[in-house]
Amino acid sequence: MIIRATQSDLDDFLALIEDLNELSALPITEMIALLKADESNLWTDIPVPGGGHVSVRQLSFKGFQRLADRLIGTQPRPFDFSREAVERKLREEFGRAFVGARMMLTQDTAEAVLRAALAAALDEHRSVRHFIPCVALSATRPAEFRIGHVRFITRERFFSEHHQHFEEKRKYERSKAVEGWKRATDAGQFTVFESEEHANEMGDTGVKWVTDFYSQHGWVAEILIPNCHPDRSEERAELATQAALDVLKLLFGRYYSRHVRLGTSPALPEKTAGWKQVDEGRFEIHMSRQGEDILVEDEWLSRAGSHERYYIRLAGLVIAGYVDPARRCDVGNRFLDALHWFGEAVSERLVSAATVKYASALERMTVTPDVGAQFTRTVVRRVSIVASAGDAELFEELAPVVRSLYTLRSEFMHGRRSPHDAAAGVSASYVVGRMLFRFLDLIRILARKGTVTDVDLAAEYRRLEALLN
């Protein structure tokens, strides 16, 4: 790979080397005195070959951040990298070249370090198929369905498809634990295992932990994330899966879907109980139980109308931007962000918090860079235009609802109303949900014309506003 070291790269390398040489010449007592005199002299360690480390000041150490940013910026897919991972590789290669091998800083040595760090960082990139447990639907048929790249399968199908893989993994872990126990025993070394049977049992722990956790959830989301750093892969898989779950919330509404979530997200207890004394007299108990899944009949998907299936397909296309950021665009990003705010609002227990999030969803879809003042007027007008889809009567109905939502948002945010004021709620979920559906239609129209930037969206809004006038 061809990597050219810029003058900025050479300057950062030189500053690091000079700082390293200065600190290396000081005894530890003087280094501590230097730190006490000025906290900006705090030093950070760089690993060197053969173990150990050398130190540079943190101000110089930030040079690795700048080097990493520039190096990532030279790549055709910079979003696939982890900045922390590239920094780590740069520190390792810097220590290997300029400390271990005592190379002189030249254009060639600087480029060699950059190339080696980039190659080491790329070597960590993987294509990963993720399996994420979810709380989704009460129905078990169909046993699988898709929203874009996310394949949802029932718990039963998941365990059926992966039974052999779990058994092979269990066998491997048991064998590894037993072999470790035997090696330690033969060498007279300490081992945490009390016996071969204990080692065998402990080898089961990992697989049992996974299967126990997945068995607590009715559905598993499967999604393949193309080659990238594992941190980015994990992040993209969770974002895409959460977006797909938010589409279910959009389809089924707040009342049925407020508990839908990733299996790794915090959950309210399924069963709760209370104990209280009334008027200093008798004691009473309180018990409640609530399901988490969306309560829906089997074969729900085959009974869904063409309208619902159409929007599932459209949403799936936009969610693909989470799977591969190269497929993202401004208007798609706005939908994904608004969908996230909607999903958060649906699951909120406090009306005040839900109100703020609903309003944020509407703003994300309507406030374009050309909007200066009059945010409220702009949001109310644009939401009413898009969500009413040409229905004049509906336009007149929506405008006061959106305006009321905005007024409440301001009262909550600016301290004029208590966050616990449950009586303040408005029917925001319906309006925001309808706007999300219609915004998908708008994305489809803009995508067909190849006009998908924020500037294009602003122009489209102005065109629609002019038509209304």
Residues 6+ apart with CB under 8 A from 173: 203, 204, 205, 206, 207
Tell me the C-alpha distance between 344 and 428, whole Å.
13
Q: Which of 262, 283, 303 is a domain's end point?
A: 262
Residues 227 and 201 in one domain: yes
State the pLDDT at residue 24. Answer: 82
Measured CA distances, 469 to 241, 398, 463, 464, 465 (Å): 41, 17, 10, 9, 6
Rg, Å, the chain Cα set: 29
Residues 18 and 42 in one domain: yes
Residue 297 included in any domain: no
Residues 113 and 134 in one domain: no
Q: Which of 124, 139, 156 is a domain's end point?
A: 124
Tell me the C-alpha distance between 94 and 89, whole Å.
8
Residues 198 and 254 in one domain: yes
Residues 117 and 135 in one domain: no
Residue 292 included in any domain: no
Q: What integer best gives the mean pLDDT of the chain?
A: 92
Residues 86 and 134 in one domain: no
CA–chain centroid gap for 158, Å, is 23
Residues 140 and 224 in one domain: yes
Amino acid of residue 23: L
Query: Range of 78's domain?
Result: 7-124
Q: Which of 210, 243, 262 is a domain's end point?
A: 262
Of residues 224, 218, 216, the one with CA closest to residue 241:
224
Residue 16 included in any domain: yes
Tell me the C-alpha distance between 1 and 115, whole Å.
7
Residue 140 included in any domain: yes
Residues 167 and 111 in one domain: no
Residues 106 and 180 in one domain: no
State the pLDDT at residue 252. Answer: 94
Residue 168 included in any domain: yes
State the pLDDT at residue 425. Answer: 55
Contact 275, 267 (CB under 8 A): no
pLDDT tens across 42-80, in order? 667 888 888 888 888 887 889 999 999 999 999 999 999
Residue 414 included in any domain: yes
118: left (phi over 0), alpha (psi -120 to 50) or beta: alpha
Of residues 254, 187, 260, the one with CA closest to residue 217:
260
Residues 74 and 152 in one domain: no
Secondary structure letter of residue 294 according to DSSP: B
Tell me the C-alpha distance between 457 and 234, whole Å.
31
Of residues 127, 55, 125, 130, the one with CA closest to residue 89:
125
Residue 50 included in any domain: yes
State the pLDDT at residue 14. Answer: 96
Residues 344 and 448 in one domain: yes
Residue with tokens 């509404």: 253
Residues 335 and 431 in one domain: yes
Domain count, the chain: 3
State the virtual CA torsion across 72, 74, 75, 81 in degrees, nearest 10: 0
pTM of the model: 0.92
**Helix, strand or coil for residue 169?**
helix
Q: What is the pLDDT along the chain (469 residues), one digit of tens a residue?
A: 789 999 999 999 999 999 888 888 888 787 778 767 776 666 678 888 888 888 888 878 899 999 999 999 999 999 999 999 999 999 999 999 999 999 999 999 999 999 999 999 999 999 999 999 999 999 999 999 999 999 999 999 999 999 999 999 999 999 999 999 999 999 999 988 989 999 999 999 999 999 999 999 999 999 999 999 999 999 999 999 999 999 999 999 988 898 999 999 987 777 889 999 999 999 999 998 777 888 899 999 999 999 999 999 999 999 999 999 999 999 999 999 999 999 999 999 888 999 999 999 999 999 999 998 888 899 999 999 999 998 999 999 999 999 999 889 989 999 999 988 866 555 789 999 999 999 999 999 999 999 999 999 999 999 999 988 7
| CA end-to-end distance (rounded Å), the chain | 57
Residue 225 included in any domain: yes
